[in-house]
Structure 1
Amino acid sequence: MRIDEIIAGSSEPVFSFEFFPPKTAEGERNLFAALQELSKLDPAFVSVTYGAGGSTRTKTIEIVKRLRDEFGLEAMAHFTCVGATVEQLRGTLDEMRDAGIDNVLALRGDPPAGQEQWRKTEGGLEFSRELIEMLDAGYGFAIGAACFPETHLDAVDAESDLRYAKAKVGAGAGFLITQLFFDNAFYYDFVGRARAIGIEVPIIPGIMPIANFQQIKKFTSMCGASIPPALMAELEARADSPQAVSELGLSYATLQCADLLAHGAPGIHFYTLNRSPATRAILSALRLMRPWDRRRLASARTPAPPPWPAGARRPARPHVPGSRCPAPGARR
């Protein structure tokens, strides 16, 4: 089933999980063990990333098919323009279509290992918008795209980045998934500005529960996401205790998701890093709390409330020169 139709037809927020193709047999066993647990939560859909430089093309398609056939999950394949000509891209898309895949997340992608700067492949595409146009013109996929509440590192500024998101929607993207963030004000500001310029598709926040302090510092420094100073101080105070960091990360993500859902987010896309415990705990708590019901109650009392808190404004974010985002949540 098409993900855009799943979102449109749901009367409650949609929850989804992102996984990456493992590089080892042990990693694959761990992934499918996590899937056994997470599939019990009945996600609206799951997605599988596409390695840097298209390095996991075959594996991505294989895992998407297994998720659908063995677990009964609606699965979306990530797809990038990196390291392939237009002819090669069409060949992969034909393979996806023949495999019965209905959903594709179209991304520019990261450069291959060892290549610091993005370079267009000769005979290939340069922008994800071009990939979306190709998908929309010749295939029947539901198309998702990425967006950046804290602005993509390659963007000239926030407004040009927002206009590019609108161009991707105009090219055929039916929903957007955000890069990871830890301050909800970024999301509320982005949604408000997006609606103001005519972006009407669902904008699903992407959330990564913090499980490892050094790992999350690396991810955020590479992709330009920021960690609020108060949260950073609490993480630093627990730096010598991995368990304490994980417990704080789980609690923070639960509160973050609850706030997003209470203020109208259409769902949550979890960057699981192929692990199940934190995502299971957070989603179970959210379904018990049902924070989205608060918005429904408010709607019954007050006509047309805004989809973000009053007074929310865009915080400043640190500039990270010359950096790029790693595979988990990597977007453009």
Structure 2
Amino acid sequence: MIECNGKNIEFSCEVFPPKRNEDMYDIYKTLDEIKLLNPDFISVTYGAGGSNSKRTAQIATYIQNISEVEALAHVTAVGVNPEKLACMLEEFERKNVRRILALRGDKPRDMSDEDFKERYYKYASDIIKVIKDNGNFKIAAACYPEKHPEASTVAEDIKYLKEKVEIGADELITQMFFDNNKFYDFMDKLGAANVNVPVHAGIMPITAANQLGTSVALSGSSVPTELSNIIAKYSEDPISMRKAGVEYAIRQTEDLIKNGVDGIHIYCMNKFDVTREIYEAVVYDLT
């Protein structure tokens, strides 16, 4: 928890399950290191169509019961049916994992367009209602400060986001963004729509030049001139690129905290050192 101007701001980060069982030790080691920062929660992603769902549950259990940090487990609507979802929720309850991020999820590569179209749960809102009715869970939903790539307008996107909150979402976590003004404008629009739940700002430190293209493609985020200039300047200098990217994320985080954000959520890509550098810089500046 970070305190600024009398407001408590949650600090969290996200990890993802490794593809191979033999790499599980590495993620547990990373979690043991992240624990030292005393984050408010650690979220664990869920592979497309549930490809890593078992590892998600294993890692969330480790976070909750071994690391003794609150776990936020991702659950996607794509690839689950009522029976599978019920089993997952029962397992989370048994393992004391009580915080869930409900997502629609992307189409798995091995799923046909027809199967994707005919999937049982169409949207995140479909599983939010089920989760709300089947356990004592705190439910988070995703949001996009610059509009979901599939939404036709910002107004339409916020309309559906409001529906998710009314159905049962207790908090929101944004997709990564790189321009804080876009986030502040988004927050104003949420306020005007009477969407009044905590919003955690998602920060993705860009530590390698080739990382930006993939990140923007997934998030639909615009790239400010300052960040694009950093990429252009240091694209052939990995060490300087990493340093400049982390410093950009620190400046972005400090500005959000000073402007009263509810939470900071670091997309750390399983890199403890980056998470630590951001957290320690912010805490030092505030004390």
User: Which residue number corresponds to residue 3 of structure 2?
Assistant: none
Code of the aligned partner of 2:66: E
Match of 1:54 among 46, 50, 53: 50
Q: What is residue 177 of structure 1 aligned with on the other side?
A: 173
Calculate percent identity across the aligned residue pairs. Answer: 36
> What TM-score, normalized by structure 2, do the two folds share?
0.93
Is the CA contact (8 Å cut-off) linking 2:78 and 2:119 kept in structure 1? no
Distance 1:275 1:74, change over 3 A: same
* More divergent stretch after superposition (66-75 vs 244-253): 66-75
Opposite residue 227 of structure 1, the aligned amino acid is: V
Q: 1:15 aligns with which of 1, 4, 11?
A: 11
C-alpha RMSD over aligned residues = 2.0
| Bigger shift: residues 109-118 or 99-108 | 109-118
Label 1:224 to 1:117 Cα distance change in 2 as closer, same or farther (>3 A). Answer: farther
The equivalent residue for 1:271 is 267
Runs of 4+ more than 6 Å apart:
none
Amino acid at match of 2:50: G
Please say if 1:155 is aligned against 2:184: no
Q: Which moved more, 1:52-61 or 1:26-35?
A: 26-35
Shift of 1:30: 2.6
- For 1:285, give the aligned amino acid: A
Structure 2: tracts of 5 or more residues without a match: 1-5
- Deviation, 1:120, is 4.3
Query: What is the CA distance between 1:121 and its match in structure 2?
Result: 6.6
Letter in 1 for 2:24: E
Are residues 212 and 196 of structure 1, via their aligned partners in 2, closer, same or farther at CA, if it must alter by over 3 Å? Answer: same
SS in 1 for 2:78: coil
CA–CA distance in structure 2, aligned partners of residues 210 and 79 of structure 1:
26
Contact 1:180 1:225 in 2 (8 A): yes
Q: Which residue of 2 aligns with 1:90?
A: 86
Report the Cα offset of residue 17 of structure 1. Answer: 1.1
Whichever residue aligns with residue 93 of structure 2, its letter is R
Q: 8 Å contact 2:77–2:126 — kept in the other structure? A: no
- Structure 1 unaligned segments of length 5 or more: list them: 1-9, 292-332
Instruction: Please point out which of 39, 46, 66 is paired with 1:43.
Output: 39
CA distance in 1, matches of 2:139, 2:76: 13
- Is the Cα contact below 8 Å between 2:79 and 2:119 reproduced in 1? no
In the alignment, structure 1 residue 234 sits paired with structure 2 residue 256: no
Deviation per residue, 1:18-50 (Å, 9 max, x gap): 110111245323322222221111001111011
Distance 1:190 1:30, change over 3 A: same
Report the secondary structure of 1:75's partner residue: strand
Distance apart, 1:115 and its partner CA? 5.1
Match among 66, 75, 78 for residue 74 of structure 2 = 78
The 8 Å contact of residues 10 and 262 in structure 2, kept in 1 or not, is answered as yes
Matched, 1:111 2:103: no
Aligned to 2:283: 287
For 2:70 and 2:86, locate their aligned partners in 1 and report how far apart those are by CA, in whole Å. 23
Q: Which moved more, 1:37-46 or 1:217-226?
A: 217-226
Q: Which moves more between the two structures, 22-31 or 74-83?
A: 22-31
Take 1:118 and 1:263, find their aligned partners in 2: how far apart are those partners? Answer: 46
Residues 206-253 of structure 1: CA distance to partner in whole angstroms, max 9, x if unpaired?
001111110222121233112112311221111111111110111000
Rounded to whole Å, the distance in 1 between the matches of 2:234 and 2:187 is 33
Question: CA–CA distance in 1 between the matches of 2:78 and 2:181?
Answer: 32
Say which of 215, 218, 221 aligns to 1:219: 215
Taking the aligned partners of 1:123 and 1:154, their CA distance within structure 2 comes to 18
Partner secondary structure for residue 151 of structure 1? coil
C-alpha displacement of 1:187: 0.6
| Rounded Cα–Cα distance in structure 1 between residues aligned with 2:64 and 2:272 | 18
Query: Aligned residues, how many?
Result: 283
